A and B are shown apart, each in its own frame.
Chain A
């Protein structure tokens, strides 16, 4: 048996439904006017500072979505880049967006063009500034490193999924004296960004970025819903630790939550007095 459907793992299915409900309810709350708080994220506050520095120096800004295949992470990265582009458009700062995924490249072209339109500067949009370099990891890395060196970029924004090439980007940017802000969901690359970048956005702060920058009620509501779901996870963990400490790891309640199988397994466990 493998977990390919909700019926294979009832606990996961209920969790997914709960998280979705928490997110949707809080989006509704936000739409109805609830005031929602989001803490400061220094890396995101520094975006404007980085753009300002680029403008003063007259050197370009690079935006790198990493090796992200088109999906949720790529859309979030492009949302952030769209915001950055709107800021850049105000100062006519040159920019380069370098992509390793052709689908992301195609969507990025539209997103950046939209950003310039929304900023009222469609004349500044140059399609050659949004480039697909290569879908091979190190060919992409060498292309990006080369561009950063040749054009001596002043600010580098790296948001998305990164692998081994992350340090190549970050260190090359450091060599040319660029101010660097990185945000990634790739846990293993965080130490490299922390060592080489000025600001690093870790884990789910990456998903909070669009809410932080736009302060849109829907996005803030979604963020609150995520936090409620995380609280549930934390409470489940604490509850599990307490229950396992008091009753032992063979206790029915502990085994129930770890019970593999579908609804029959669940009901049998409950009616039969605990898991196997």
Chain B
């Protein structure tokens, strides 16, 4: 009865005193292990239809939790005066649920890393083509992982941070990894150049519009566009005065920066808004299909 009263007053196991929380958490983790170990043989003996029924049910319940937490009313102070009016009884469980998802993601990282190392070990051992690169990967992986772990332990003062560790980690992280990241990103500038040279051709009406708009925006957004419009051509930079005639308004708004801004806010933004609506609705429809197990793609 006390448990129910606590729940109704929005106290859940996440808010129990420290000692009870550790006990409950231990029981939950142990229970989860037992459940999984017991479930695997049961699932394997079930026929495919039975397995599917369990998967559909679990998927539905998992999705129902998040949907219910969003749609259930939050303000129950009329019935429970000491209640928090900004959440319902499911809200405190959202953060732990997200934490569980992150832990599953972390486990998957181990799986992915195992697959990568296994592949390259096999390449190296069997001397498959380009096995030298596999050796480089494996050595880099081991060295970087070792130094990173030692560095983290040193930050927590579990091991001593010697000058060798500090220097080695700095060389690998600051002077290698970070710089390689920046170098890969800067490749994009060169690739844009070759892609633009190849793609922006007057082949059709649409391609021409694309090309001219791109050129206008490219020159309008940089200081050179302002220099050309306001210094070289002498166009006024300030906005047109109130009640100005059409020609004056045109003169005040024909600068390259203003045209570029117009393209970005009056053409790009509405088109992007429309696409985002479609994507949002598509995502919602897909999520509903997954939740109700109507999607027969991957599953």
Establish whether A and B are touching in the complex (CB under 8 Å).
yes
A-B pair count, CB < 8 Å, reads: 182
A207 contacts B188, CB within 8 Å? no
A24 contacts the other chain (CB 8 A): yes
Q: How far is the CA of A233 from the CA of B282 in the complex (A)?
A: 13
Tell yes or no: A6 within 8 A of B by CB. yes
Report which of A141, A194, A230 forms a contact with B278, defined as CB distance below 8 A. Answer: A230
- Find chain B residues with CB under 8 A from A79 CB: 295, 297-298
| Beta-carbon contact of B188 and A164 below 8 Å | yes
Q: Are B184 and A105 in contact, CB atoms less than 8 angstroms apart?
A: no
CB distance from A209 to the nearest CB of B (A): 10
Interface hub of B69, B88, B111, B281 (most chain A Cβ within 10 A): B281
For the complex formed, measure the closest distance between the CB of B141 and the CB atoms of chain A, giving whole angstroms.
10
Does A89 belong to the interface (CB within 8 Å)? no
- Which residues in chain A, 200-256, are within 8 Å of chain B measured between CB atoms? 202-204, 206-208, 210, 214, 216, 218-219, 222-223, 225-226, 229-230, 233
Which of B24-32, B43-51, B190-198, B244-252 forms part of the interface with chain A? B190-198
Q: Which of A39-47, A49-57, A130-138, A267-275 contacts B (4 or more CB under 8 A)?
A: A130-138
User: Which of B5-13, B145-153, B159-167, B269-277 lies at the interface with chain A?
Assistant: B269-277
Q: Given A24-B288, A202-B275, A132 and B184 touching (CB < 8 A)? A: no
CA–CA, A101 and B105, complex, Å = 9
Q: Are A131 and B184 in contact (CB under 8 A)?
A: no
Contact indicator A73/B283 (Cβ below 8 Å): yes
**Interface pair A20/B288, CB less than 8 Å apart:** yes
> How far apart are A212's CB and chain B's nearest CB, in angstroms?
13
Q: Please name all residues of chain A whose beta carbon is closer than 8 Å to the beta carbon of B21 when the two chains form the complex.
A: none
Given A75-B295, A226-B282, A233-B184 contact (CB < 8 Å): no
Interface residue total, chain B, C-beta cutoff 8 A: 60
Q: Would you call B287 an interface residue if the criterion is a C-beta within 8 Å of the partner chain's C-beta atoms?
A: yes
Chain A residues within an 8 Å CB radius of B108:
101-103, 105-106
The answer to whether the Cβ of B296 comes within 8 Å of any Cβ in the partner chain is: yes
Stretch touching chain A among B33-41, B113-121, B220-228, B257-265: B113-121
**Among A72, A127, A150, which residue has its beta carbon within 8 angstroms of that of B290?**
A72
Rank and list the top 9 A-B pairs by shortest CB-CB distance, nearest first. Answer: A79-B297, A207-B282, A102-B112, A132-B112, A204-B278, A138-B184, A102-B108, A204-B282, A195-B199
**Contact sample, A vs B, 6 pairs, CB 8 Å cutoff:** A7-B73, A23-B288, A105-B111, A164-B185, A167-B188, A187-B279
Question: Which A residues have a C-beta under 8 Å from some C-beta of B?
Answer: 4-8, 13, 16, 19-20, 23-24, 27, 70, 72-73, 75-76, 78-79, 82, 99, 101-103, 105-107, 110-111, 127-128, 131-133, 135-139, 141-142, 150, 164-165, 167-168, 170-171, 174, 185, 187, 192, 194-196, 202-204, 206-208, 210, 214, 216, 218-219, 222-223, 225-226, 229-230, 233, 262
